[in-house]
Amino acid sequence: MVKNILVPVDGSEGSDRAVVQAIAMAEICEAKLNFLYVANINQLAINAFLSDAILEAVTKAGSVILDRAMEMVPSGIEKEAFSETGSPAVVILDFAAERNPDLIVMGSRGLGVVKGVLLGSVSQYVVEQSKCPVMVVK
């Protein structure tokens, strides 16, 4: 029985489709939705020295993405939002290990450094390493 769904979000179209699918699953199963935004600090370190201003901008962007996901959820469905920093695949798996979701629903590809080079690397890694079922939404 699915009662706790983890939904990693990054603001991409695939992520938005995953949110829609997760909401549908939550309605059917009467499950709680846990939205997780991971600020990809590894990606940012490639591009710039991590100043407080950059970290603040990343945090603010994550808040906007999480707020949008939360606003999509109809009333009556329990939901919670979380923001973390680090390598997305690793953070998603660590978060899942701590929270023990019954299901992870995520987009097939997100906002990578170079679109088209590592398509789906995060979702692929999560599928391969997760201890719980993972639904990948295209």
Domain ranges of the chain: 4-137
Strands (E), 1-138: 4-9, 32-40, 79-86, 103-107, 134-137
Helix axes 52-72, 13-29, angle to 10 degrees: 40
Report residue 121 as tokens: 């690397």
Asked whether residue 115 carries a pLDDT value surpassing 60, the answer given is: no
- Does this model's pTM top 0.85? yes
- Residue among 88, 109, 107, 91 nearest 99 (CA): 91
Which residues lie closer than 8 Å to 17 by C-beta, 6 or more apart? 107, 137, 138
Which residues lie closer than 8 Å to 10 by C-beta, 6 or more apart? 37, 38, 65, 88, 107, 110, 111
Asked whether residue 126 carries a pLDDT value surpassing 80, the answer given is: yes
Asked whether residue 10 carries a pLDDT value surpassing 80, the answer given is: yes
Residues 57-77: tens digit of each pLDDT: 778 899 999 999 999 999 999
Calpha distance 104→4 (Å, rounded): 9
Of the listed ranges 55-69, 99-113, 123-137, the least confidently predicted one is 99-113
pLDDT of residue 49: 58
**What mean pLDDT value characterizes the chain?**
87
Task: Check if CATH label 3.40.50.620 holds for domain 4-137.
Answer: yes
- Asked if 39 and 84 count as a contact pair (C-beta separation under 8 A), the reply is yes
pLDDT of residue 136: 94
Residues 25-49: tens digit of each pLDDT: 999 999 999 999 998 876 555 555 5
